[in-house]
Amino acid sequence: MSTNKAAFLKSLKTPFSVDDAPLHSPGPHEILIRNRAIAVNPIDYKQQDIGFFIKSYPWILGMDVAGIVEEVGADITTFKKGDRVAALAPGMPTGNQAYAAFQLYTVVPASVASKIPDRIAFTDAAVLPLGLTTVCWGLFGEGYLELDPPSASGTPSTKNNNKVVLVWGGSSSVGSCALQLLSAGGYTILTTASAKNFDFVKELGATQVFDHHDPDIVKKLVDAARGKEILGAYDTISTAQTVRACGEYLHELGGGRFTKVDRTVDASDLPASVTVTENQPPGLRGPDGGLASWNRLWREFMGEGLENGKLKTKPNAFVLKGGLEKLNEAVDLVRQGVSAKKVVVQVVDGS
């Protein structure tokens, strides 16, 4: 078998450097993936800049991969060598470096990997795993909004039509997944985006969209939601300003709960009528990772949903070719801010 290489962060706030890395064998419930595409997330630059969840240096980051199964663990029956897959690379929440994405070969628990249809490029499939994971947890997971999970097959039921969910930041990666799952559940979805992305979020299922630059946005959202059953809000951006806006929106409508995605942002001064839950990265415990509350939904949409088109590989990938060396440029692009795009590094030409 080939040797492994990884893009290492050697100390806080320094560029990644590519070097030889250990090549791990999959455990009984794991698979080893030869990465063909690695997607970059805001957590990558946050870790590079702030160092959280980093146990020691050098350290390997990254949470989204797509590629080809190289080897399967002893108890694996659902994957075989050569399968095309996309997977969550849970190196950050677990502290397990074999699970990190920024390398040529990544081991993942099979429970967070999914086969992908032949028509979908690795670079497109890589945009989904972390976003979808976060949403399954934050919208439907126990202790979060606890909405009725949608189905990846059939037409959405009409029973949720009068129930309104606010997705703040519908054009983000997390927001794009949230819109698609809520749309599959037949919910009324209010969302926010820049005007240039209104069509994008509507295509993903938003019922009504509001420009987040509009100073009157909260009043407009409240007017749009009034008279419906309010199921809460999902703040996929979670700056101080968006957290405050979601809190104000819910308070005006009588209170409720929302999920925020960034633990570093303070939400302690919200009105008492509003409850906030932190969208934690799912911990992995035991063979199936203790992930049952969202894992069924994740697998259904990554499998059947991708196959039948209910789940689209959105936002579109902005692909950098050139392998692990391109990760510095890729993470810098995400740090500067992207709009309805996911930055993806192509590891091998032709994927």
Binding site for ligand NAP (CB under 6 A): 41-43, 130, 134, 168-169, 171-174, 192-194, 197, 212, 236-239, 242, 261-262, 279, 281, 334, 338-340
Task: Give the nearest distance from C-beta 35 to ligand NAP in angstroms.
Answer: 19
Single-letter amino acid code for the residue at 70: E
Minimum Å gap between C-beta 65 and ligand NAP is 15
Q: How many CB atoms within 10 Å of residue 275?
A: 15
CA distance 300 to 312: 13
- How long a stretch of residues is the chain? 351
For ligand NAP, which is the closer residue by CB, 134 or 207? 134
Minimum CB separation of residue 162 from ligand NAP in Å reads 25
Q: Exposed (0-12), middle (13-18) or buried (19+): which is 199, by Cβ within 10 Å?
A: exposed
Residue 104 or 177: the one with the smaller Cβ distance to ligand NAP is: 177
> Which is nearer to ligand NAP, 2 or 336 (by Cβ)?
336
| Residue with Cβ nearer ligand NAP (123 or 238) | 238
The residues near 285 (Cβ < 8 Å, ≥ 6 apart) are none
> What is the distance between the alpha carbons of residues 226 and 266, in angstroms, rounded to a whole number?
28
Q: Which is nearer to ligand NAP, 6 or 218 (CB)?
A: 218
Least spacing, CB of residue 89 vs ligand NAP, in Å: 13
Closest separation between CB of residue 43 and ligand NAP, Å? 5
Residue 240 DSSP one-character state? H
Query: What is the closest distance, in whole angstroms, from the C-beta atom of residue 177 to ligand NAP in the complex?
Result: 8
Give the sign of the dihedral formed by CA 186, CA 187, CA 193, CA 195: positive
| Cβ nearer to ligand NAP, comparing 151 with 183 | 183
Is residue 282 within 8 Å of 133, Cβ to Cβ? yes
Count of other CB atoms within 10 angstroms of residue 140: 22
Q: Which is nearer to ligand NAP, 110 or 128 (CB)?
A: 128
Which residue has its beta carbon closest to ligand NAP? Answer: 339
Minimum CB distance to ligand NAP, residue 61 (Å): 13
CA distance 320 to 345: 5
Residue 123 contacts residue 131 (beta carbons within 8 Å)? no
